[in-house]
A and B are shown apart, each in its own frame.
Chain A
Amino acid sequence: MVAWQSLGVLRALICGAGIAALFATGAAAEEFVAFKIVDNESIAKSLTGKPGDPARGREVAINRKQGNCLACHKLPIPEQPFHGEIGPDLSTAGSTYSAGELRLRIVNPKIVNPDTFMPAFYRPFGLHRVSKDFQGKTILTAEQVEDVVAYLTTLK
């Protein structure tokens, strides 16, 4: 696990180079986008090269089959009855963290804290016994990651 910390950049680059083709097989699988981690703290550039859509990001955060951020976090989404108590309240995440820091925490929070319970939403490798339907796939697409980043930056 500790290796993640130091190999963060390396891994991300390896992925970009060699693994993209491997992960692009399944029907819903899209090409895995390479990214660069800055100082183990941030992924400065958008994974899609474009800004995300905050309204769609909010939906991704609610959707149990996508982000399901509400499983563990409280968010300013009053129409949803159940908010988890596992991670911190994200109501002001946009003033605590920059977009790049948020992106890293969604892509792979294990780079910040190897023991975290939070899943890496954009890391289709280094996993054990992934069921067939999800093999080689990331939990969120690059576009969905950007949508969630865009949504969180609005939370001040």
Chain B
Amino acid sequence: MRRIALAAVAASGLTVMLAGTALSDETDWGAYEVGDKRSGYTYAATETRSIQDDDFENPAMLWVDTGQELWDTVEGEAGKACASCHDDAAVSMAEVGAIYPVYYEPRGKLINIEQRINLCRTENMKAKAWKWESRELLSMTAFVRNQARGRPVAVKIDGPAAPFYEKGKEFYYQRRGQLDMACKNCHEDNAGNMIRANLLSQGQSNGFPTYRLKWQKVGSLHRRFRGCNSQVRATPYKAGSDEYVNLELFLADRGRGLPVETPAVRN
């Protein structure tokens, strides 16, 4: 609940400001701003922020609650629930949301939280993997990441993760699509500027899975990547692709120190 206290600090003095307009540099955003890194929260409209601030109002908490139920549900041939092995998620999952994606030795590449969950389903529970963007996988991902809420993002980018981080970085700066735009054109060079009716944020990933008012549901970070690729008329990659997991690591490091906000609420 540390988060809610911080939100209150950030909100004080903002009430007179208009929703959706660029806010002055002097605003104290509390934990949502670390050096020059700013969470998407700080670019969101006042009403959107207030929905996120209150767990009872935040519709994404329904997904977190579903995740909690699934955590205790026995499934698969091994006759286990997540809780059978991991017990209290508040303890066993306290860090995961802040440190993923990680390098996973048996596969020789990075895995993100969704993939880690599905590994436990297939290998440890002998249950079927959940589909990407399914209610179950989104709920469990939101639940697991929510355990780390308030913790600063602190991924590992050295050692065996280093080459994957480099690939993610390359992706971020590569122009693509008929409109020939890179992530950095919008989220690095123009954060704080209006692109027609949209206020561009830094495109940080600390709040995912996120409830988008536009989607009327919770969506994964990779869904967001696909949207940001499609809008420049580029062919998106598959959710869960290596390209997107590498990009996910680069983005996490780009937002290093920002608190995990899952489940965030955005436009």
CA gap between A150 and B142 in the complex, in Å: 52
- Mostly, the B contact residues are loop
A24: Cβ under 8 A from any B Cβ = no
Say yes or no for B179: interface residue by CB 8 A criterion.
yes
Chain A residue, CB-CB nearest to B192: A85
Closest B residue by C-beta to A71 = B196
Cβ-defined partner of B194 (8 Å) among A84, A133, A139: A84
Q: A82-B194, A84-B194 are in contact. Are A119 and B179 (CB under 8 A)?
A: yes
**Interface size, chain B (Cβ < 8 Å):** 21
> Which A residues are in CB contact (< 8 Å) with B174?
128
Asked if A9 is an interface residue, CB under 8 A from chain B, the answer is no
Q: Known A130-B233, A131-B230; judge A70-B196 contact (CB<8 A).
A: yes
Q: Is A127 a contact of B194 with CB atoms below 8 Å?
A: no
Q: Does B181 contact A (CB under 8 A)?
A: yes
* Residue B77 CB within 8 A of the other chain: no
A139 to B233: give the CA distance in the assembly, Å: 10
Known: A127-B180, A130-B178, A131-B178. A86 touches B233 (CB 8 A): no
Contacting A at CB under 8 A, from B183-207, are 185, 189-190, 193-197
- Which A residues between 9 and 43 are near B, CB-CB below 8 angstroms? none
Chain A interface size, under 10 / 10 to 19 / 20 to 34 / 35 or more: 20 to 34
Would B177 and A131 count as touching, CB distance under 8 A? yes
A127 to B195, CA, bound (A): 22
In the assembled complex, A137 has its CB within 8 A of some CB on chain B = yes
Closest B residue to A1 by CB, please name it. Answer: B175
Nearest-neighbour CB distance to chain B for A11, whole angstroms, equals: 15
**Cβ–Cβ contact B177 & A72, under 8 A:** no
Q: In the complex, which residue of chain B has the Cβ closest to the Cβ of A124?
A: B178
Judge whether A156 is part of the interface by a CB distance below 8 angstroms: no
Residues of A with Cβ closer than 8 Å to B? Answer: 64, 68, 70-72, 81-86, 117, 119-120, 127-134, 137, 139
The 5 A-B residue pairs with the shortest CB-CB distance, nearest first, are A82-B197, A134-B178, A71-B196, A85-B193, A128-B176
Q: Which B residues are closer than 8 A to A by beta carbons?
A: 174-181, 185, 189-190, 193-197, 229-230, 233-235
> What are 6 A-B pairs with beta-carbon distances under 8 A?
A117-B185, A119-B178, A128-B176, A130-B178, A134-B178, A139-B178
